Amino acid sequence: MVESSVEFLSGRAYAARRGVSHTAVQKAIRSGRITTVDGKIDPAIADREWAENTDPSTSKNSLTGTPKGRRRGDAPPKPNEIDGGNGRATGTGYGRARAAREAALAGIAKLQLDEKTGKLVDANEVKLAFFNATRKARDELFAIPARIAPVLAALDDAADLEAILFDEIERVCKGLSDGNS
């Protein structure tokens, strides 16, 4: 059997090590910000959980400068989640959650700005515009033979035929690129 080299501390010993009051440690345990094993605290895990699950925007202790961890009386307790294999409850990671929320809000704001400045457009509008442009190009190109057949029928010289065909195709392409026809 392998002995664990982890030194577990009482709530008071952990409070002294952390430089906070015993009451602060008790509140952190009750709110789920740090976890215990059989009533004892693993300082390495508790330090990590304390950092992850403490809201840095809350009021600070005047002596240590660490957050008091108070919440409104009507606020529900912070939800806990069960950690994979060990079955211990761990906090939700307020700092990570807030950073993810801020990143998502920044992404939404950027998308809204891009849309308002014209850098971002509706995909359906682009698809419709593309369909209309290609349909117009097809219709213009299919109309060439009917439009120039009488002129071509009167010509005998291949170079003249080629020049007329080239001029007509160029006219259609120019009209399409200008948005006219």
Using DSSP's 3-state secondary structure scheme, residue 40 falls into strand
pLDDT score at 118: 86
Distance, CA of 24 to CA of 67 (rounded, Å): 9
Is the pTM above the cut of 0.85? no
Whether the Cβ atoms of residue 22 and residue 12 lie closer than 8 Å to each other: yes
By mean pLDDT, which of 6-15, 73-82, 171-180 is the weakest?
A: 73-82
Q: Which residue has the tokens 């009451």?
A: 23
* Confidence at residue 106, expressed as pLDDT on a 0 to 100 scale: 94
Bridge partners of residue 40, in order along the sequence: 37
Mean pLDDT on 103-113: 93
**pLDDT at 102 (0 to 100):** 92
High-pLDDT (> 70) share of the chain, %: 75
